[in-house]
Structure 1
Amino acid sequence: MLVYAFKRLLHVIPVAMGVSIVCFMLIHIAPGDPLAAILPTDASLELQAQMRTFYGLDQPLPVQYALWAWHALQGDLGTSIATGRPVLAEILSASVNSIILAVAATIIGFTFGSILGFLAGVFRGGWIDRIASGLAMLGVSVPHYWLGMVLVIAFSVSLGWLPSMGGGPGGSDGRSFSWDYIQYLILPAVTMSVIPMGIIARTIRSLVADILSQDFVQALAAKGLMTKHVMRHVIRNAAPTAISVMGLQLGYLLGGSILIETVFSWPGTGFLLNGAIFTRDLPILQGTILVLAMFFVIVNLVVDVLQSAIDPRIQRS
C-alpha cells in the first residue's frame, strides 16, 4: 500500500511541472497589457518601464517562468497588480470559501446521486428506474448558471427564505457553523451539486445493473444469502468506480465555478478569477490557476490511494 502510494506521488511531480508551464504560457499568450489596469492612459515611458521592471515583465519568458516557479516553490506567488496585496493571501482566503462550497456540493450531489443511481440499478426497467434516470439526465442537461438564477428568483426574491448573494453575514472571512452563515451556502451548493449528482447517479446505475447481472451475485442469492448481504457485496464492488467519479467531480468543483460564484457573489476562487480576468491581473491569474490545478492533482492522488485500499487488485495491476 505504501509503495503504491509512493509511486503515485512520484507521478505527481512531472504532472505538476507540466501544469505550471501550461499555466504560465496560457496567461502570457493572451492579448492585452497587464499594466493597463493600474497605469493611467498618459503614463510616461519611464513610469511604464519602472513598473515592468518591478513586476519582472521586462525579462524573457523563460527567465520569467524560472523566477516565478522558484518563488512559487517558496510560497511566494507574487503581488496582485490590481490590489497590491500578496497573491497567496488573496488565494488562500478565496480557496477556503471554494473548498467549503465544493465539499457541501459534493456531499449533496454524492448522497442524492448514489440513492438515485442505486434505486435505478436495482429496479432497472421499472418506473423507479425511469424517474431516477430522468432526474439524473435533467441534472446533467440543465445549465447550472440558469438554475442558480431560477433558485434566486424562487427562494430569495419571491419567497424571501434565503439570501440571494454574498459569502455570509461577516463577508468573505466571516465563516462559521451558524445558520446565519449556512443559509448563504445553501443556494450555491445546491446549484453546484446538480451536475455531479446526475453524473454519479448515471454511473452508479450502470454499475449496479451490471454487477447484479453477474454470476457471483446470482450464486449468492441461490445459496440463500439475505438480500441486504447480497447488496453489501454489490456496493463493495461498485465503490471503487463510484469513489473515482466522486473524486473527479470534487476536483472539478474545487476549481470553482466562475459562473455560479459570480451569480451568487460567492467569494471563492471562481469569483477571484472573474475579477482578475477583467483587470488583467496576471499574478492573480497565474497563482489561482496553479493552485486550482494542484488541488485537482492532489484530489486524484488521494482517490487513487483510496481505490487501492478498497480494491487491492488495483495495486497489482
Structure 2
Amino acid sequence: MISSIKFLFARTLGALMVLVIVAILVFSLVHMASGDPIAVLLGDQATASDIAQVRAMYGLDQPLWTQFFLWVQQVLHGNLGTSLFLQRPVAQVLIERAEPTLLLAFFSVVIATLIGVPCGALAAVWRGSKIDQVVSAVAMLAASVPSFWMGLILIRVFAVQMGWFPASGYGPPEASLAGRIDHLVLPSVVLGVLNSALIIRFTRASMLDTLGEDYVRTARAKGLSETTIMVKHVMKNALIPIVTVIGLTAALMIGGTCVTETVFNLPGVGGLVVRAVLRRDYPVIQGTLLVVAFIYVLINFFIDFLYTVIDPRIRLRK
C-alpha cells in the first residue's frame, strides 16, 4: 500500500513537471514565431494605432513573462483562453473538434494493432523464412510511405472509382455517429497501416528475445505444443514492450493526425491547429498542445499500471 502511494505520488509529480515544461516551451516557441496575430486579424487596411489598440485589448502589449503567468493562472482555473479569430473559448472549440480526432485515433490504433501484432508474431516464429522477409519488407515500406500519398491513392480507388466510401468530410451536421463512421474508414486505414510498421518491428524483436529464454526450451522439452508455448509463454512474456509501443502509437495518433485530417477534410483537432498556426492564434495553439501533452501523460500513466496487470512480478514502486 505504501509503495503504491509512493508510486502514485512520484508519477503525479513527474507528470506535473512535464506539463510545466511543456507549457513553458509551447508559450515561448509560439511567441517567438514571426508574425503578428493582430495584424492578421485586422487585415491589410489596419493602421498602426488600430493594431496597438487591439493588442492592448488582448494584453499582447505586456511583457512576455506577464502574459505567461496570466495564461497559467487561466489554465489553473480551467480556462484555456479565448480564440483570437473564432472569438470563442478554446476549450469549447476543442470539445467540438474532439470527436473525429479521437475516433480516428481509436480506429487507427485498432487497425495498427490487428495488423502489427499478428504479423510481427509470424515473422518471429518463422524467423529467416520467406514470411519473415515479406513481413519485414512490408513493415519497411509502410514506414516509408507518406500518409498524404496513401490517402490520395485510397480516395481515388475506393471513393472515386469504386464509390464505396466518401472521399472527404464528416457528414452533415444532423447525421448520427453511426452515419459518420464510413467517413473515418479510409483515414483510419491510412494511419493504421502506416503505424503498424513500428508495432510489427517491436513485436518481432520482443518475441525473438523471449523465444531464446530457458523456460521456452523447458516447455518444449516437456512436450508442450507450439501453440501452447507461443500463447502461454512467449506472447505473454513479450507483451510489455508491445503494450508500450501500442500506447505510444495511440498518443502519437492523437497529436499527429494533422496531415491525414487535412487530406480527408475532417473537422478535427488537426485542422484546427493548422489554421491556428497560419493565423498565429496563440490561445488555440497553446491550449491544444497543452491538452495533447496532458493526454500523453495520461496514456503513459495508464501503461505503467497496465504493466502490473500483464506481469504480476512487476510492483508499483518509486
**TM-score, scaled to structure 1:** 0.93
- For the residue of structure 2 that corresponds to 1:313, the secondary structure is coil
1:297 and 2:301 are equivalent in the alignment: no
Deviation of the 1:98 alpha carbon: 1.1
Q: Give the Cα separation in 2 of the matches to 1:164 and 1:51.
A: 41
Query: Equivalents in 1 of 2:166, 2:42: separation in Å?
Result: 37
Q: How does 1:73-152 map to 2 (within 5 A)?
A: 73-152=76-155
Give the residue type in structure 1 aligned to 2:126.
Answer: F
Secondary structure of the residue that 1:81 maps to in structure 2? coil
Please tell me the residue identity of whatever aligns with 1:313: I
Given that 1:102 and 1:256 are in contact with CA atoms closer than 8 Å, whether structure 2 keeps it comes out as: no
Change (3 A) 1:39 1:316: closer
Q: What does residue range 1-317 of structure 1 map to in structure 2 within 5 Å?
A: 2-3=4-5, 4-170=7-173, 174=175, 176=177, 178=178, 180-231=179-230, 232-311=232-311, 312-313=313-314, 315=316
* Contact map agreement 2:4 2:316 (CA 8 A) in 1: no
Query: Where in structure 1 are there 5+ consecutive unaligned residues?
Result: none
Count, aligned residues: 313
What is the alpha-carbon distance in structure 2 between the residues aligned to residue 44 and residue 202 of structure 1? 57
* 1:268 Cα deviation after fit: 1.3
Counting aligned pairs with the same residue, the percent is: 38
Distance between the aligned counterparts of 2:73 and 2:35, measured in 1? 25
Distance (whole Å) between structure 1 residues aligned to residue 40 and residue 220 of structure 2: 69
**Residues 243-290 of structure 1: per-residue CA shift (max 9 Å, x gap):** 100111111001132211100011111111111122221111111111
| Structure 1 range deviating more: 247-256 or 297-306 | 297-306
Say which is worse superposed, 45-54 or 247-256, in terms of deviation.
45-54
Residues 109 and 193, structure 1, Cα contact 8 Å, conserved in 2 = yes
Measure the CA separation in 1 of the matches of 2:44 and 2:289: 29
State how far apart, in whole Å, the 2-side matches of 1:293 and 1:217 are: 40
TM-score by length of 2: 0.93
CA offset at residue 314 of structure 1? 6.0
**Contact 1:5 1:305 (8 Å CA) reproduced:** no
The one-character-per-residue Cα deviations of 1:174-231 (angstroms, maximum 9, x if unpaired) are 551x2x3111000111111123201001110111122112221011110122333211
Kindly indicate whether the alpha-carbon contact (under 8 Å) linking 2:112 and 2:193 is maintained by their aligned counterparts in 1. Answer: yes
- Taking the aligned partners of 1:285 and 1:267, their CA distance within structure 2 comes to 16
How large is the RMSD of aligned CA atoms in angstroms? 1.7
Q: Which amino acid aligns with 1:289?
A: L
Tell me whether 128-137 or 213-222 shows the greater mean CA deviation.
128-137
| C-alpha distance in 1 between matches for 2:9 and 2:282 | 34
Matches of 1:162 and 1:151, distance apart in 2: 10
Taking the aligned partners of 1:183 and 1:124, their CA distance within structure 2 comes to: 38
